[in-house]
Amino acid sequence: MLDRLKIKNIAVIDETEIPFRKGLNILSGETGAGKSIVINAIGLILGGRATAELIREGCEEGVVEGLFDLSDLPWMRERLERLGFSPDADELLVKRVVSAAGRHRIYVNGELATAAILHELCEGLVDLCGQHEHQSLIKPQTQMDLLDRYGSLLERAARARASFISVRDLRAELESLRSSEEERSRRLGFLEFQIQELRAADLKPGEDESLQTEKRLLQSTEFRLQLGEHIRQSLEGEPEGVLDPLRGAVAKARALADVDPSTRAILEGMERAAAELEEALLEVSRYLDAAELNPDRLQAVQDRLATLADLRRKYGASVNEMLATAARLEAELSALGHAGNRIEALQTDLEKGEAELYKLGKDLSAARRKAAKLLSDSVTGELKDLKMPDAVFEAQLESREDLTLWSAWACGDLIQFLIQTNRGDKSRPLGKVASGGELSRIMLAIRRVIADKGGIGVYLFDEIDAGIGGQTAFEVGRKLASVAKFNQVICITHLPQVAAFGDHHLSVRKEAAGRRTVTRVLELDAKERKAEIARMLAGPQITKTSLQSAGELLGLAAR
């Protein structure tokens, strides 16, 4: 149940805290006093859209807080935990901060949350029944939801809905794969061609760089031989070679060292130079013996480089990049190859899913038919109490066998609420024959029979009594009181016949405060409540007669 509602700087409300009690809570007040602000505030804490226009003029932000008692709603505590919030002593505290700068904030039990999470959290916590809800009553989806709630079928409907969504997703994936099968086949062929071309090339990491080096050497063989021969001639050739003169100079230095030992260092240096040149001459000779012109190898290298150049245009700037491309193409080929297996697996899963869905849908449909009969009889009985003695209500179901025609919210059923308002008339859809006042009574009758099933935190009736009056209004009040025996009911009304049944009465009043107008929500005691009902009966001028009438009305409601 909603324990209290705090509103600050919203519309013409500067600050107020509204206490709610168990049973039937009545909110009354003159037209324009601000009752709709209370409804909007409750909508905010349920996840409704927040806009800066809601903020009281001259204020930077508005705040709405709602405290719910969850002691009788174990499913709400489970939902809190599922969404990552810790239930606090069977209470739910929701706070909405609406900022003029657009930075709105939401807190759930003191923790930040998003509007989407808040909407999911509070779904089903408050059942809003208002004049603007009349049109939703003629929508098939709303009617199916009401039937499932009445028949305690929500969990079974949710399982069927989950199965439907799974089948729908499987069917969509399968159709997508099948529609692209031709393209997949073309792609497979192209990939196989590319991979075969790369495999045939027998690429080696870095071979393009080593081939370029080898090519440069092969192309310069003749020039290199000429240079080597020139070096050998310079070292040992006749008559310009340097080794023979150096050898003679070493012999002379050896003789000098024999005569003058102090020249030993000169001798050793010259011997080292001679040895180094001898070794250099040996290396040059080996180089010349190994080097040879090889035009066949040069042609082979050039052909291989030409092959790599052709592949480079298709698969990458280097051999290493080509090898990476080959690995990627093979991975794609493998994935596409598995797609065929995926089609077979999907077909199997789809057949199993459709069989499960069909069974769930048929079982649900059978249960719905039983519930529809009970709902029809119960609502018809309630309507007779609401001064529609000849009315006959029928929740009509029609089953569909073709799974492709099923929907997530209804699975295999079509539903239509029919009403016969006058004896001898044919039953017709609600929206075609029911007036606003009749729709209000039908809605109340449906809520009345559903209320016995429990599971709703709060029933909020926003001027559902519009278009009715007199004895009918009195019966509406009696029905609301009946709903409130086991549920918290908040009812906004202009009718004293309805207000007389309240367990707790709140008055919404617009007052002048200095240069501004403010709305106050006042909790009425027994005396004040009698005066408020007298005002509702006779207008602002309360008389002894109107007070007496109010007392009589309260007495009748208390019986």
Hey, how many other C-beta atoms are within 10 angstroms of the C-beta on 350? Answer: 17
Residue 479 structure tokens? 């029905």
Helices (H), strands (E): how many in the chain?
Answer: 19, 15
Q: Mind giving me the DSSP string for 340-379?
A: HHHHHHHHHHHHHHHHHHHHHHHHHHHHHHHHHHHHHHHH
Using alpha carbons, select from 412, 335, 408, 406 the residue that is nearest to residue 367.
412
Percent of the residues in the chain that have a pLDDT greater than 90, as a whole number: 24
Structure confidence at residue 505 as a pLDDT band (50, 70, 90): very high
pLDDT over 90 (residue 166) = yes
Structure tokens at 359: 């069974």
Q: Which residues contact 157 (CB under 8 A, 6 or more apart)?
A: 144, 148, 364, 411
**Interatomic CA distance for residues 532 and 549, integer angstroms:** 12
Kind and range of the H or E run holding 553: helix 544-558
pLDDT above 70 for 549: yes
Q: 455 pLDDT band (50/70/90 cuts)? A: low
**Is the distance from CB of 12 to CB of 4 less than 8 angstroms?**
no
Which is nearest to 505 in space by CA: 492, 487, 486, 519? 492
Phi, psi for residue 333 in degrees, rounded to 5: -60, -40
Residue scoring higher pLDDT (289 or 353): 353
pLDDT interval class at 219 (50, 70, 90): confident
CB hemisphere CA count around 383 (13 angstroms): 26
If pLDDT is split at 50, 70 and 90, which confidence band does 367 have? Answer: very high
Query: CB within 8 A of 120, min separation 6: which ones?
Result: 47, 83
Distance CA 41, CA 266 (A): 111
What angle (nearest 5°) sits at the alpha carbon of residue 536, between those of residues 533 and 539? 125
Mean pLDDT across the chain: 85
118 has which bridge partners? none
End-to-end CA distance of the chain: 26
Which of 113-122, 292-301, 472-481 has the least mean pLDDT? Answer: 292-301
The pLDDT of residue 533 is: 92
pLDDT score of 133 more than 70? no
pLDDT of residue 371: 94
> Of all helices (H) and strands (E), which one includes residue 252?
helix 243-259
Mean pLDDT throughout 107-116? 89
Q: Quickly list H helices, 4-114.
A: 35-45, 74-82
Q: What is the pLDDT of residues 310-320, one digit of tens each?
A: 888 888 888 88
For the chain, the structural domain boundaries read: 207-317
Residue 131 has pLDDT above 70, yes or no: no
Average of per-residue pLDDT across 442-451: 83
- HEC profile of 405-462: HCECCCECEEEEEEEECCCCCCCEEHHHHCCHHHHHHHHHHHHHHHHCCCCCCEEEEE
Asked if residue 298 has pLDDT above 80, the reply is: no
What is the rounded average pLDDT of the residues 497-501?
Answer: 92
User: What is the amino acid identity at position 257?
Assistant: A
- What is the DSSP code (8-state) at residue 262? G
pLDDT band at residue 128, thresholds of 50, 70 and 90? confident
- Across 149-162, average pLDDT: 90
Q: Letter for the amino acid at 298?
A: L
Beta partners for 399?
Answer: 413
d(CA 409, CA 361): 11
Q: Which two tokens stand for residue 68?
A: 């719910």
217-221, 339-343, 363-367, range with greatest mean pLDDT: 363-367
3-state secondary structure of 517: strand
Whether the pLDDT of residue 140 is over 80: the answer is yes
Q: Grade residue 424 by pLDDT with cuts at 50, 70 and 90.
A: confident
Using the predicted structure, report yes or no on whether residue 153 has a pLDDT greater than 60: yes
Percent over 70 (pLDDT), the chain:
94
Per-residue pLDDT, 60: 87
Higher pLDDT, 437 or 469: 469
- pLDDT of 132 strictly over 60: no
* Residue 322, φ and ψ in degrees, nearest 5: -65, -40
Look at phi and psi of residue 454 and say left if phi exceeds 0, alpha if psi is from -120 to 50, else beta: left
Could you tell me if 443 and 142 are in contact, meaning their C-beta atoms sit under 8 angstroms apart?
Answer: no
pLDDT attached to residue 468: 73
Task: State residue 362's pLDDT score.
Answer: 93
State the DSSP code for 260.
Answer: -
Residue 513 has pLDDT above 80, yes or no: no
Residues 532 and 538: their CA atoms lie apart, in Å, by: 10
Q: How confident is the model at residue 366 (pLDDT cuts 50, 70, 90)?
A: very high
CB 446 within 8 A of CB 146: yes
Q: Which of 103-112, 320-329, 496-505, 511-520 has the lowest mean pLDDT?
A: 511-520
More confident residue, 86 or 81: 81
CB 519 within 8 A of CB 462: no
Instruction: Please state whether beta strands 24-28 and 488-492 pair in parallel, antiparallel, or not at all (unpaired).
Output: parallel
pLDDT band at residue 200 under the 50/70/90 scheme: confident
With beta carbons less than 8 A apart as the criterion, state whether 410 and 185 touch: no
How high is the pLDDT of residue 145? 87
pLDDT tens by residue, 246-266: 888 888 888 888 888 888 898
State pLDDT tens for residues 396-414: 999 988 888 898 888 989 9
List, for residues 29-68, the tens digit of each pLDDT value: 887 777 888 888 998 998 888 888 888 888 889 999 999 9
Is the pLDDT score of 107 beyond 60? yes
pLDDT tens figures, 169-182: 998 888 877 766 66
Contact 502/491 with Cβ under 8 angstroms?
yes
